A and B are shown apart, each in its own frame.
Chain A
């Protein structure tokens, strides 16, 4: 068979044909994998809730409340034991360095952070992706036991007390913003739904400290 020449008709037909076949194949794969992906996501969520708010006897995933604050939506999974509230897991999101960063934060009745779980992110593996462990109990940026209501969590570069992930300041800011917003939704306080990159007090150019991985703030 002779190779097709590059006429407009041939190019249009070939590209349309290949795209239709590829699209149909992707549609079929999507329908086949939709259920297992939903199950995997549900399992990830229930496992995460069990980690961030231990010691409940209800099913928090079924007792979910959606709270809207300043146009942003937060899902609160209330945990109870013997009918008494023992805390809640709050799902919150903010814009990280690589895209949306979704975090599940566990609070006790007083608003202290019990633990957290990073549900999804698009951060750089080996750098921003360290957020999954960096802020855990005993780690460098440990946030457990802290109460964002008493003092919002911010990185030390912005005058706060939390060590940012090495070379991933934007991710750290975004993560802490999501945690602060989760607390605000939990206590239904004011929420700033900006991206993590806008949490600086002054532009990066004017900072005399290390500004690795920091976007300048547009003034």
Chain B
């Protein structure tokens, strides 16, 4: 049991959440980070979907990695990911219809998410199922963390709500001159917030800064 949560495995899980975050450090998965973060609910669902799919596909690819001929490995990875994404998409349509409408095409686009394909190619093809599962969970949660932070800021300051509940749209607050910022709901603002997060992280950890 101790071996399952060894220092190496803990590092595999925790590094992508902070120091090697797929969005802020590797700058992957930016497209959906812009598109689904104007509200918190779809951002949470998207983050969870990517986390589940990344973890599952990592485990599946890791289990069958020895039976995948090298020349067709990308095709097999796509088959596995596409199947898992379609399953998640169907489940969302069946049991979370409103959210599936909000996410629209972006659930399908998880198939082409660089984070997902990158982890399959770089990690799952070379490691065991448990380590691959931890790596998938770590990268998925690292992605989800950024989505939730961005969506929290955008929904709160753009709509004055959180998860649809009214937070800032009260007469008492608006008497002070507070007005919801419409720019927050526009796609460029997501990029600006992600840029601010990258700036903060690199200022806090100078080792992440590009060397001259």
Closest beta carbon of chain A to B29's beta carbon, Å? 15
Q: How far is the CA of A170 from the CA of B76 in the complex (A)?
A: 37
Q: Are B66 and A44 in contact (CB under 8 A)?
A: no
User: Max chain B CB contacts within 10 Å: which of A19, A22, A25, A44?
Assistant: A22
- Interface hits, A7-64 → B, CB 8 Å: 7, 10-11, 14-15, 18-19, 22, 25-26, 29-30, 33, 36-37, 40, 43-44
List the A residue with the shortest CB-CB distance to B65.
Answer: A3
Number of B residues contacting the other chain (C-beta, 8 Å)?
35
- Is there a chain B Cβ closer than 8 Å to A160's Cβ? no
Q: How far is the CA of A11 from the CA of B79 in the complex (A)?
A: 14
Number of A residues contacting the other chain (C-beta, 8 Å)?
34
Quick one: given A26-B86, A36-B95, are A6 and B71 in contact (CB under 8 Å)?
yes
Q: Are A7 and B106 in contact (CB under 8 A)?
A: no
Closest beta carbon of chain B to A4's beta carbon, Å? 5
List the B residue with the shortest CB-CB distance to A119.
Answer: B101
The interface bits of chain A over 63-107 (1 if a CB of B lies within 8 angstroms of the residue's CB, else 0) are: 000000000000000000000000000000000001000000000
- Interface hits, B24-49 → A, CB 8 Å: 35-36, 38
Quick one: given A37-B94, A122-B104, are A5 and B87 in contact (CB under 8 Å)?
no
Quick one: given A6-B70, A22-B80, are A33 and B93 in contact (CB under 8 Å)?
yes
- Is there a chain A Cβ closer than 8 Å to B163's Cβ? no
Q: How far is the CA of A125 from the CA of B151 in the complex (A)?
A: 14
8 A-B residue pairings within 8 Å (CB atoms): A1-B66, A4-B68, A6-B69, A11-B69, A11-B72, A40-B97, A126-B35, A126-B187
